Structure 1
């Protein structure tokens, strides 16, 4: 399925392990640079109040400034959504579960960073809080090549609540 955009949520800091930045999971700037170097278009969505803190003068691509985090997520969802920080990751996963979108959600699990989350999801499923099929909404990949392949082959699990219908207006206004 061709994609117009891939939305990447990740930390604005590099973390302590240099491999995160090497794999472009620890820095928004690393991801933007890699996309630009590979002739892709970069579109950033930044909250006005954070732009002063995070803007280091090395802007890559186009940036849309928005008033708050809810508008940021809404804008990213409208542009083709993904996930990243825990809250955003889980919200995008929930949106997929309740059929607001059926877009791929890929975890690039550098150095096992997401292993505790994956264990928690499996535990929650074993305890009956997450339908077993819905544990497949997120696809875990251990390399960039795996992640790129998963983007091309992703199929949302049939256990999602596909009977729920959302209008475009409703889907874009969910916060």
Structure 2
């Protein structure tokens, strides 16, 4: 064995021992309804395509209906179930597709369609776990708000506040479909 071969073998060994870079994780806050316009569902699908094209993992609220379901289904169809992690409070499982009364909440959501699902005790635990996944992910991760209701707004404001306080340095993006968030953006600009 020559010195060149030995050096080459050591380099290959060092590369295989190196830790692969972490994939970025994006947390998407969005509604469990489809929205008032087909543009909202189209935006969820478009976002899933962008996540797929950039090898970004998704963590989201774990729903199977509305924008949440559309986003998860689309990304799973493109990148596989390992690319999606839904985190849902036990109290909300009953609102999901295919849930039957008395059924184990963990068995309600088909992970081959919606990705890995974790059922947690409450909303606070869900938000904490979603944020931890983003913060622990690779560069390029962050938070995105699609159209949604009070829950989406509350989650968006919390991660924005955390960013402002220096709890995390991840980006926070408002996906403003058909002016949905115009009022909020106007308020933020004058607050």
How would you bin the TM-score normalised by the shorter chain?
A: 0.5 to 0.7
How much has 1:38 moved relative to structure 2?
2.2
For the pair 1:64 / 2:104, whether they are aligned, the reply is no
Give the greater-gyration-radius structure (CA). Answer: 2
DSSP-derived class of the 2:36 partner:
coil
Q: Is the 8 A contact 2:120 2:126 kept in 1?
A: yes
Q: Partners of 1:78 and 1:58 in 2: how far apart?
A: 22
TM-score, normalised to structure 1, is 0.65
Name stretches of at least 5 consecutive residues in structure 1 with no aligned partner. 125-175
CA RMSD of aligned residues (A): 2.1
TM-score, normalised to structure 2, is 0.60
Residue deviations 1:127-146 (CA, integer Å, cap 9, x gap): xxxxxxxxxxxxxxxxxxxx
Residue 114 of structure 1: aligned partner: 181
Alignment of 1:47-126 (within 5 A): 47-56=89-98, 59=110, 60-80=114-134, 82-84=143-145, 85-124=152-191
For the pair 1:43 / 2:85, whether they are aligned, the reply is yes
How much has 1:83 moved relative to structure 2?
5.0
User: Quick check: which one's helix share is greater?
Assistant: 2
Q: Partners of 2:125 and 2:24 in 1: how far apart?
A: 20
Aligned in 2, Cα 1:115/1:3: closer, same or farther, shift over 3 Å?
Answer: farther
Equivalent pairs, count: 124
